[in-house]
């Protein structure tokens, strides 16, 4: 496979991955169909890429608006039905993906898509303002599945537990003749997710993006998601994040949080959270670098208490995505024995990993 072909596969795989995050079922088989279609078209022509993807990656009419939004965001402003110039603005760090080192043959037709793929794995703390704006735009399209749990409530079904009352009522309506048996099965509901986002000074490069991720999770499951900011005090910000517009939500959050860029007393915040909120059966996600300024033994004790109550405990540490990272801070060492999943939180790829964990079924 030539270098250009490898670049095309990488770009289209990243595009399909972003579509899946937005709810379009762009699976491996559909990606292969797209690549086969592009082999007979001009992959440097945005119009060809748009229609090839639309025909091969979308499964129903409901997918089309999502496809258009993601295509527009991923390929840097190209829209359906318009013939755009093939050249697209390329950010400085992506030129090497499509041209030989030291050479610049002008704008590359698919470089903006390559830029999105680079941004997917890039540390948000190292991004420019333009790159962050693009990541925020992609997060606005983000969709995450949610693990389902069985409810105590039952619903009618063709099989399952015999519903004697409904069966008898049916028989009485028919003059005492039993036409068919009625059954019930437990309803399913999305498992509750609680996020605690560290907004202390050491988390400043990541806090805004993590809160935008929290906004996306609230938007997907508003009744099954709670969000708190944690620093020197615990603040519930779920209501602020229920605004559909990300900018409006972030403005409301910035007004609601009184301790931006302060210290971190996670042990005290966890104790307050567990005293005022029920974590039983929930997936609790703590987004923090573990720089504890308070009593580390208290943090360990409250994490142990939390792990006994919650369905799962996930710790998101942005520094985990850095090469050679070791959890050496006292706060992380105290928390680690009580964590089910320890993941990075520094990039779009890390957010996708977290979304996958939230969608998995765990006993």
Q: pLDDT per residue over 337-356, tens digit each? A: 999 999 999 998 999 899 88
Reported confidence tier of residue 295, pLDDT bands at 50, 70, 90: very high
Judged against a pLDDT cut of 50, whether residue 4 lies above it is answered with yes
| Residue with the larger pLDDT of the pair 46 and 283 | 283
Question: What strands, in cross-sheet order, belong to the sheet with 283-287?
Answer: 234-236, 225-230, 193-198, 283-287, 312-317, 341-344
What residues does each domain of the chain span? 7-70, 151-189, 193-359
Query: Which pLDDT band holds residue 117 (cuts at 50, 70, 90)?
Result: low
Domain covering 193-359 in this structure, CATH number: 3.40.50.410
Neighbour tally for 149: CB within 10 Å? 16
Q: Give the pLDDT of residue 289.
A: 94
* CA neighbor of 356 nearest in space, from 103, 17, 13, 3: 17
Give every CB contact of residue 124 below 8 A, 6+ residues apart in sequence: 132, 135, 205, 206, 209, 318, 346, 347
How far, in Å, are 107, 128, 221 from residue 92 at the CA level? 11, 11, 37
The pair of structure tokens assigned to 94 is 């992506």
Residue whose structure tokens are 């129903």: 60
Q: Is residue 225 a contact partner of residue 238, using CB atoms and an 8 Å limit?
A: yes
Distance CA 96, CA 79 (A): 26
Q: Where are the alpha helices (DSSP H) in 146-265?
A: 164-173, 204-220, 238-241, 246-256
What is the average pLDDT value for the chain, to the nearest integer?
83
- Tokens 């202390």, residue located: 200
Structure tokens at 290: 């573990």
Share of the chain above pLDDT 90, in %: 40
Range name among 42-56, 110-124, 178-192 with the lowest pLDDT average: 110-124
Shortest CA distance to 286 belongs to which of 243, 316, 321?
316
Encode pLDDT of 160-219 as tens digits: 888 888 878 888 887 777 677 888 888 888 999 999 999 999 999 999 999 999 999 999
């Amino acid at each position: 496979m030539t270098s250009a072909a490898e670049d095309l596969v990488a770009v289209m795989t990243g595009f399909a991955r972003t579509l899946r995050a937005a709810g379009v079922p762009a699976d491996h088989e559909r990606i292969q169909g797209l690549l086969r279609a592009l082999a007979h078209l001009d992959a440097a022509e945005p119009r060809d890429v748009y229609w090839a993807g639309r025909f091969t990656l979308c499964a129903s009419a409901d997918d089309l608006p999502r496809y258009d939004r993601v295509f527009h965001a991923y390929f840097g402003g190209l829209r359906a039905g318009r013939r755009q110039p093939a050249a697209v603005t390329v950010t400085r760090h992506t030129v090497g993906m499509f041209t030989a080192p030291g050479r610049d043959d002008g704008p590359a037709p698919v470089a903006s898509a390559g830029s999105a793929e680079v941004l997917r794995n890039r540390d948000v703390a190292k991004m420019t303002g333009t790159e962050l704006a693009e990541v925020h735009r992609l997060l606005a399209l983000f969709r995450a599945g949610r693990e389902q749990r069985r409810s105590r409530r039952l619903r009618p079904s063709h099989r399952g537990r015999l519903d004697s009352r409904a069966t008898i009522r049916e028989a009485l309506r028919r003059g005492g003749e039993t036409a068919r048996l009625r059954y019930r099965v437990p309803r399913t509901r999305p498992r509750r997710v609680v996020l605690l986002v560290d907004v202390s000074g050491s988390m400043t490069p990541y806090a805004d993006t993590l809160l935008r991720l929290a906004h996306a999770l609230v938007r997907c499951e508003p009744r099954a998601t709670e969000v708190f900011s944690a620093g020197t005090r615990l603040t519930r910000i779920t209501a602020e994040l229920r605004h559909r517009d990300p900018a409006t939500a972030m403005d409301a959050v910035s007004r609601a949080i009184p301790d931006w860029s302060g210290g971190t007393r996670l042990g005290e915040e966890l104790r307050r959270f567990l005293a005022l909120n029920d974590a039983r059966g929930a997936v609790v996600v703590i987004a923090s670098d573990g720089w504890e300024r308070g009593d580390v033994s208290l943090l360990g004790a409250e994490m142990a208490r939390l792990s006994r109550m919650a369905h799962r405990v996930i710790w998101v540490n942005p520094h985990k995505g850095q090469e050679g990272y070791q959890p050496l801070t006292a706060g992380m060492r105290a928390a680690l024995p009580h964590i089910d999943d320890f993941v990075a939180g520094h990039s779009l790829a890390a957010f996708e990993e977290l979304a996958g964990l939230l969608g998995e079924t765990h006993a």
